[in-house]
Amino acid sequence: MVKRLLYSFMIIMAVIVLTACSENANSPQEDTSSTDDIETTTTNSEQLVVAIPADVTSLDPAITMDNTTWKIVYNVYQRLVDYDGATTNIKPGVAEKWDVSEDGLTWTFYLEDGHKFSDGSPVDAEAVKASFERSLTINAGPASVFEMVSTINVVDPLTVQFVLSEPFPPFLSTLAANYGNIVNPKAIEHEENGDLGQNYLASNTMGSGPYKLTQWKQGESITLEVNEHSKVQPTLKKVVFRIIGDPSVQRMQLEKGEIDIAEGIPVDQLQTLENVENVTILQEPSLLVDYVYINNKSTNPALQDKRVRQALNYAIDYAGMIDGVQLGFATQMHGPIPDGLWGHDKSVKQYAHDVEQAKQLLAEAGAENLELTLLYSDNKSWWETEALALQANLADIGVKLNLNKVAYATSREMMDKGDFDLMLGVWSPDFGDPYMFMNYWFDSSNHGLAGNRAFYTNAEVDELLKQAATNNDQAAREALYKQIQDIVLDEAPYILLYQKDFILPMSKNVKGFVYNPMLEGQYNLQDMSK
């Protein structure tokens, strides 16, 4: 215990020294934006203010694949179906009912009449068809989950039918996630050079959800206000997401009542909030995992040797990192499927801290004097400390790890290009199926897309993944995923760190928030109040 406390102390001190001695041009700067809009947040029962540590990326539902941006678009758009409260159960959304053919290939949705986009136009079967076909045509990250959709048919104005080319067991659940957001077909009116309105929707919204985007001051704030045409008229009339990179600023503003929710406060500062009268700290088990991408196609040839990747996995002091970075509010990952999701298998290989084994593997691979660069961003409050811990761990096996911290948007661009050796990442499921981890992370067709940022390729794994994705027998799928896990854990394309608890400090005035592990970092704003 003394050793772990010392480890924690050393990491925290290193963060302080690094902050004092260096300044990255892309690091979060002191928040100087105006607080005029939020002076009365504690007394204004119709306004909610949420502090987030980094700005969002493209707001286009057909493009974006990150949870930070999804927290905006999820409340601006509607879906055919939704998750029911904190469960993985599905309830009606725009569709009031649905049915599926016996072979699992034809899904028919019957829409509730009266739903309207923010411009007053109807959400009908033609709009649903146009929205999904737009996503499939753009063929970015969200489209990959619908690659088995062969045709979309309008049966009548309020009935739309999806025909699949092969069975896909999680299909209904995917429609409840952000992939299923329905975009106004008038988006095409904003088309530029055949982009299907992507440039316009990157910074504007055209949905039928309870809110609409009214202002986005990049780097400062994002404002949502009630969509007057929505069937649901929420209690909160205005929601402001303020970009505050400094966790200490977030904490002080929460204490003063200037913000209602603080997303960017690291665990080492939570203790100071425990006795603040107007603040409560929500803690829930989560399916959010934290890990390191190892670029398998890196220009550094050493990373193409699985012995080197295994060595990096053995180098990590997992217990020390959980204590030092997360103060115990996490558990070591045991395979790529998190505990709490079916398919999690405690019998699969788990790497342990073994410095001598790591050094031996590096020697066998001829990589004793290895130098790598770790890419990370300002998106997660704990990543600075985590990066320093990784640097210290790898130094113990003779690997020099250079740290490259950039702005979140920049990190996304570099990640897409594969411009990194190692990179910090987080992942949570959008639907309750191992497909969310296994197929996204390890299918070679996802190179450079959300999930397989490790650029991992294995033809045998690809075939097994396809079998698992198209089999309606859960037991058979579980066996296939076990076989895949045995292969990929040996080949070590990632460093699997830990499964993190969900912790959220907020004002005691906030009511009605429901945490759903399928909607990590997102808010059920239409049900919330103050």
Predicted confidence (pLDDT) per residue in 51-76, tens digit: 999 999 899 999 998 888 999 999 99
Measured over the CA atoms of residue 38, residue 42, residue 45 and residue 49, the dihedral's sign is positive
Residue where the block lists tokens 């076909």: 133
Provide the 8-state DSSP code for 182.
Answer: P
Nearest residue to 506 via CA among 175, 51, 138: 51
Residue 9 has pLDDT above 60, yes or no: no
Instruction: Give the mean pLDDT of 510-523.
Output: 94
Contacts of 197 (CB under 8 A, 6+ apart): 60, 134, 187, 188, 189, 190, 191
Instruction: Give the mean pLDDT of 32-48.
Output: 62
Instruction: Give the mean pLDDT of 368-394.
Output: 94
Decide yes or no: CATH 3.40.190.10 for domain 9-59+215-284+503-527.
yes
Rounded Cα distance, 390 and 370, in Å: 14
Provide the mean pLDDT of the chain.
Answer: 90
Provide the 8-state DSSP code for 322.
Answer: H
Looking at residue 267, its pLDDT comes to 87
Query: pLDDT tens digit string along 304-331?
Result: 999 999 999 999 999 999 999 999 999 9
Contact 454, 293 (CB under 8 A): yes
Rounded Cα distance, 390 and 353, in Å: 12
Contact 152, 132 (CB under 8 A): yes
Question: How much helix, strand and coil, in percent to the nearest 5, is found in the chain?
Answer: 35, 20, 45
Give the other-Cβ count within 10 Å of 301's Cβ.
10
For 285-501, which CATH class?
A: alpha beta
Lowest average pLDDT, out of 290-294, 378-382, 495-499, goes to 378-382
Domain with CATH 3.10.105.10 in the chain: 285-501
pTM over 0.85: no
Residue 11 has pLDDT above 90, yes or no: no
Looking at residue 41, its pLDDT comes to 57
- Helical pair 474-491 and 306-314, crossing angle rounded to 10 deg: 90
Residue where the block lists tokens 């600023």: 249
Rounded Cα distance, 383 and 28, in Å: 13
Looking at residue 299, its pLDDT comes to 80
What's domain 67-190's architecture?
Answer: Alpha-Beta Complex (3.90)
Residue 279 has pLDDT above 90, yes or no: yes
Looking at residue 28, its pLDDT comes to 32
Domain with CATH 3.40.190.10 in the chain: 9-59+215-284+503-527
Looking at residue 153, its pLDDT comes to 98
Helix, coil or strand: residue 138: helix
Q: Is 473 buried (19+), middle (13-18) or exposed (0-12) by CB count in 10 A?
A: exposed
Looking at residue 352, its pLDDT comes to 97
Q: Which DSSP string do the residues of 220-247 spell out, in sequence order?
A: TEEEEEE-TT-S---S--EEEEEE---H
Query: pLDDT tens digit string along 407-421?
Result: 988 998 898 889 999
Looking at residue 472, its pLDDT comes to 87
Looking at residue 124, its pLDDT comes to 98
- CA 112, 115, 119 angle in degrees (round to 5)? 160
Q: What percent of the chain has a predicted confidence (pLDDT) above 70?
A: 92
506 backbone dihedrals φ, ψ, rounded to 5°: -150, 165
Query: pLDDT tens digit string along 135-178?
Result: 999 999 888 899 999 999 999 999 999 999 999 999 999 999 99
Query: pLDDT tens digit string along 221-237?
Result: 999 999 999 999 999 99
Q: How confident is the model at residue 10 (pLDDT cuts 50, 70, 90)?
A: very low
Domain with CATH 3.90.76.10 in the chain: 67-190
Contact 253, 468 (CB under 8 A): no
For the chain, the residue count is 530
Residue 198 has pLDDT above 50, yes or no: yes
Encoded tokens for 18: 């690094």
Looking at residue 237, its pLDDT comes to 97
